[in-house]
């Protein structure tokens, strides 16, 4: 499973990219607004750091506006993926941009039917928001399992499942078991995947024994 980091913080992206754990980046207007910088400048810098796909979201809501903004975003760098909302105009724009060779991440997916429409529209990625479903007492991981099963029924559907709104390491584990293609993680969740209390306990014991034995390397 690929890991994308869900942030526009350049320092975090550089740190995590250096580990080799980051395959791409997802952003949105809210994340970039926190940086206080020009939108296109932030996207361009992220694209220079990460060779993988970088999702950049349009702010238009009509078909013509989304296509126009999408083309501007695609011109920033070859690894830009245009992020479009799962609305009817968004689906139409997905088809238009994908037909021109662009990559599209269809976001704000909350149902299997929506995921089917996005795939038929030519989306590169579909982004189901598991955490937001959990917030309203709907099992977000059940949606991931349904989309995986549905896509696997049809060889013609090439859209990758990009699990979004991940809140915990458990979301990552379940996504990987189900067979999602990508998980986009906040930096703190990605770092938490390496943490286990027994690892810390074992390391402390090894270091204590090494000190008693006077072992030096």
Beta strands in 65-151 (DSSP E): 80-85, 104-109, 125-128
Told to judge if 83 belongs to the known catalytic residues of this protein, a careful annotator would answer yes
Tally of domains within the chain:
1
CATH of residue 23's domain is 3.20.20.70
Predicted structure pTM score:
0.93
The pLDDT tens digits for 80-130 are 999 999 999 999 999 999 999 999 999 999 999 999 999 999 999 999 999
Beta strands in 101-159 (DSSP E): 104-109, 125-128
The pLDDT tens digits for 128-169 are 999 999 999 999 999 999 999 999 999 999 999 999 999 999
Catalytic residue of the set 83, 92, 103, 201: 83
Cα-based torsion angle of the residue sequence 73, 75, 76, 81 in order, rounded to the nearest 10 degrees: 50
Q: What range does the domain containing 6 cover? A: 2-213
């Amino acid at each position: 499973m690929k890991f994308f980091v869900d942030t526009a913080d350049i320092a975090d992206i550089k740190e995590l990219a250096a580990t080799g754990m980051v395959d791409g980046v997802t952003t949105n207007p809210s994340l970039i607004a926190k940086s206080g910088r020009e939108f296109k400048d932030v996207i361009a810098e992220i694209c220079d750091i990460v060779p993988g796909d970088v999702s950049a979201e349009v702010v238009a809501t009509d078909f013509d506006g989304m296509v126009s903004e999408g083309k501007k975003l695609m011109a920033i760098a070859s690894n830009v993926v245009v992020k479009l909302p799962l609305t009817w105009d968004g689906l139409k724009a997905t088809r238009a941009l994908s037909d021109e060779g662009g990559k599209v991440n269809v976001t704000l997916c909350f149902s299997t039917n929506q995921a089917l429409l996005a795939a038929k529209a030519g989306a590169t990625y579909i982004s189901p928001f598991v955490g937001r479903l959990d917030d309203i007492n709907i099992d977000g991981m059940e949606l991931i399992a349904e989309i995986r099963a549905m896509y696997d029924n049809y060889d013609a559907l090439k859209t990758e499942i990009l699990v979004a709104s991940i809140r915990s390491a458990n979301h990552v584990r379940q996504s990987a078991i189900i067979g999602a293609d990508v998980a986009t993680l906040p930096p703190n969740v990605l770092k938490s995947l390496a943490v286990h209390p027994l690892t810390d306990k074992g390391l402390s014991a090894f270091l204590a024994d090494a000190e008693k034995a006077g072992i030096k390397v």
